[in-house]
Amino acid sequence: MSGVLIIGTGLAGYTLAREWRARDPHTALTLVTRDDGAYYTKPMLSGALGRGQSPGDLVQRTAEAMAEELDARILTQTPVSALIPDERRVRLQDGRTLDYDALVLALGAEPIHFSYAGDAADAVLMVNDLTDYVRFRQAIEEVERVALIGPGLIGCEFANDLAASGRAVEVIGPDAWPLGRLVPEAAGQAVQRGLEGAGVRFHLGTVVQRIDRCGSGYRLSLKDGTDLEAGAVLSAVGVRPRVDLARGAGLAVQQGICVDRHLATSAAGVYALGDCAQVEGRVLPYVAPIRHAAKALARTLAGEVTPVRYPAMPVQVKTTLHPVVVAPPDPQAEGAWDVVPVGEGVKARFLDPGGRLLGFALTGTEAVKARQELTRDLPPILDE
């Protein structure tokens, strides 16, 4: 019996493994990862400075401890190079192959990388896992000013964390306001004011064109003519689902690896969840969808076929200087924002033409208190 094979030991891979083991203590389980397999909670990465945590403090369990807990074989530092669904087999980069009865792709997403002119374009840091984070912490250790490309959710969280650690932060992006893809203008401006109050400077409506070495740091030349100097440059411009393995094996792929309500890909016996998956057309690179997907898939793999259901899943943006909770409306939704100032922030509700709540953005300590009440009124993202 080949059992269940999970590729990826991020939150998706490990959450599924735990849920499934709780239902099936006997069938063989193998996890393969190209990293060290340490269990950590990725959202902690963008708040660790403020909490005074080192990268090592973020490791909750080693791969060995996870293998024991899950009664599983965990192959670390072992990239998978190809899927062969017709033979129910995967090929590893070192030439070995692994057979499976059921395969789960929990491959995560790749940070988007922009290319820049200049002799220091390759010095741009990105943080999408613990290994990246170790590099980032080493790079900023002696640095007083950090340039941060990308005023989205992750960018704002890092700006908050760096500012809270006493560093000057310059945030650059083409957006008209921070969190531009998630919240309306007034909410973004409230977040901007909150972060500016801690010394963060925003350069919006413009982009970085060149990055050159300058003394022991870097000079960034922006399209609007501004030159900035910083000791480190961090890019947080978004992530893209890892689809190459699936595409190479002929599985249906769009923005992510296409799966149905049962998390089943287009190949028999192959499933996907987490940041790599596009579930019924939706790519939702957050923790809450992973928890719901893992519960449903664990049941399915244990023989009780269960579709995934997504309730409304607001996301807390960890900008402690100006708290934010967002439940973005579906991008195709028809409607408009209704924005009311509350304290130093705003309560913004996205309403359809009939007045039905389809999303919200709450910013500031007073406004975020409405989170539960508004969440109750939101429609589920994927219903029964």
Ligand X SMILES: Cc1cc2nc3c(=O)[nH]c(=O)nc-3n(C[C@H](O)[C@H](O)[C@H](O)COP(=O)(O)OP(=O)(O)OC[C@H]3O[C@@H](n4cnc5c(N)ncnc54)[C@H](O)[C@@H]3O)c2cc1C
Nearer to ligand X, 339 or 374 (CB): 374
- Cβ burial of 132 (10 Å; 0-12, 13-18, 19+) is middle
CB atoms within 10 A of CB 349: 24
Q: Does 178 bind ligand X (CB under 6 A)?
A: no
Minimum distance, C-beta of residue 253 to ligand X, in the bound complex (Å): 15
The pair of structure tokens assigned to 106 is 């929990």
CB closer to ligand X, 252 vs 315? 315
Among 286, 291, 307, 366, binds ligand X (CB under 6 A): 286
Based on CB atoms, which residue is closest to ligand X, 185 or 286? 286
7 counts as binding ligand X under rule CB under 6 A: yes
184 binds ligand X (CB under 6 A): no
First to last CA, the chain: 33
Q: Which of residues 13-52 bind ligand X (CB under 6 A)?
A: 13, 32-35, 42-43, 45-46
CB atoms within 10 A of CB 228: 18
User: Cβ(239)–Cβ(42) under 8 Å?
Assistant: no
**Which of 4, 5, 9, 301 forms a contact with ligand X (CB under 6 A)?**
9
Query: Scanning residues 219 to 278, which ones bind ligand X (CB under 6 A)?
Result: 242, 245, 274-275
Number of residues that bind ligand X (CB under 6 A): 35
Q: Tell me how far apart the alpha carbons of residues 344 and 362 are, in angstroms, rounded to a whole number.
A: 11
Q: Verify binding: residue 11, ligand X, rule CB under 6 A.
A: yes
**Residue 369: partners with Cβ closer than 8 Å, 6 or more residues away:** none
Q: Please, which residues have CB within 8 angstroms of residue 321's CB and are 6 or more apart in sequence? A: 160, 163, 164, 194, 195, 197, 198
Helix (H, G, I), strand (E, B) or coil at 45: helix
Which residue in 5, 6, 8, 279 binds ligand X (CB under 6 A)? Answer: 8
> In this chain, which stretch among 11-19, 95-103, 219-227, 301-309 interacts with ligand X, using CB under 6 A?
11-19
Q: Which residues bind ligand X (CB under 6 A)?
A: 7-13, 32-35, 42-43, 45-46, 79-80, 106-108, 127-129, 154, 242, 245, 274-275, 285-288, 290, 315, 318
